[in-house]
Amino acid sequence: MTSQAFPLDLDTLCPRLAQGQGDGDPLVIPIVQSTTFCRSGLDSRAEHRYSRESNPTVAALETALGRLESAPPAVAFATGLAAEAALFQSLLTAGDHVVCSRAVYGGTTRLLQQVLPKQGIETTFVDSTDCEAVAHALRAETKLVFIETPANPTLVLSDIARIAVIAHARGALLAVDNTFLTPVLQQPLELGADFSVYSTTKFIEGHSVALGGAVVGRDPELLDELRFIRKCTGGVQAPFNAWLTLQGLKTLPLRLQRQSENARILAEWLSVHPDVATCHYPSLHGFAQKRLAGEQHRGAHGAVVAFELDGGAERARGILNAVRLCRLVEHVGSVETLLTHSASMTHGGVAPEEREATGVTEGLLRLSVGLENPLDVCADLQQALEATSEERSVSCRA
């Protein structure tokens, strides 16, 4: 990052990005809840004309998200998937090819497997933890490499810097879904990526009240093309959702620091629990890519933990029905601790054999750790484990 474009620490910058900056400005950026804007005449050069194209509140969020990565204003969308779809539309045409991480959000898989082929765009899914596999999958027609790191939900990592070099050497661009870590804990553009992609619905907004997505990049022409696609397809973010996301942004570093620490505590407890077969979290000693995590992440590893229980699918489903504090939802990134059965929820539309190949088994549970005392979350999981253990014992005796 350059000191001129990014002079403040993120802890200082985030609370200030959602504030008025000039003399007489309101401290809290207001919601401009208007579909259209007045002009002084036909030759008016007003910044905003119609909210499907641009809106002052949405523009404030875009400026803030861009500054987090020393970039021009981001392009904000109604959802994270809308952001991905617009990115693909802006970069790809019939005959083009995409290389994508095999371990990726289920919605991304559906988009690439079921929607883009109708437009003549083909995708090869690879294990992007293996840079050689990425290089081998590239073709002359490859225009984009799309990776998600950490991957949802297994948390496997892809080496952004190395893959950027590989992609660029073959004339392809690199986009990174950075939703799980946000710019606070990982900066893809600094590592060589061309785009950072976000579901701002998750950690950036952080309170489960506003859908949103964004693409951050440094090429003004590509960003302008994204804005044109958004204008044509109507996937713009609503002003109220942008305003709510700006409020969440103020506490993003503080929340992620606490949530990451809570996640580390829970991961260490789960990793030695006798009823847990495997636990995935980048700081654990047994995590295969711990060294890469230390190089690529910025001091912490996020709030998501994945684990699989002895007893597989039956035990996992029992836990989901037995927890009292953890909330069973299809979501991550909120201040509450959330539990998800990825195989039937986020990845329910992905073919079973593909899920299994990426480690999304029927027995895998994804934990999005919140701001509660981690000991209370441990206690909730423990009582659920004990309850399901008793049920299994009774079932066996019967």
**Catalytic residue check, 290:** no
Sign of CA dihedral 139, 140, 141, 147: positive
3-state secondary structure of 359: coil
The residues pairing with 259 across neighbouring beta strands, listed in sequence order, are none
Q: At residue 347, what are phi and psi to the nearest 5 degrees?
A: -115, 20
What's the gap between Cα 152 and its chain centre?
8
**Catalytic residue check, 52:** yes
Q: CA 120, CA 288: separation in Å to the nearest integer? A: 37
Catalytic option among 49, 52, 218, 290: 52
Catalytic option among 67, 96, 102, 105: 105
**Catalytic residue check, 105:** yes
- Is residue 220 within 8 A of residue 72, CB to CB? The reply is yes
Other C-beta atoms lying within 10 Å of the C-beta of residue 285: 7
Catalytic option among 177, 227, 258, 366: 177
What's the gap between Cα 116 and its chain centre?
21
Catalytic option among 67, 102, 143, 202: 202
**Catalytic residue check, 25:** no
Question: Phi-psi category of 311—alpha, beta or left, where left has phi over 0 and alpha has psi -120 to 50?
Answer: left
Angle, nearest 10°, between helix axes 374-397 and 312-322? 120
Active-site positions read 52, 105, 177, 202
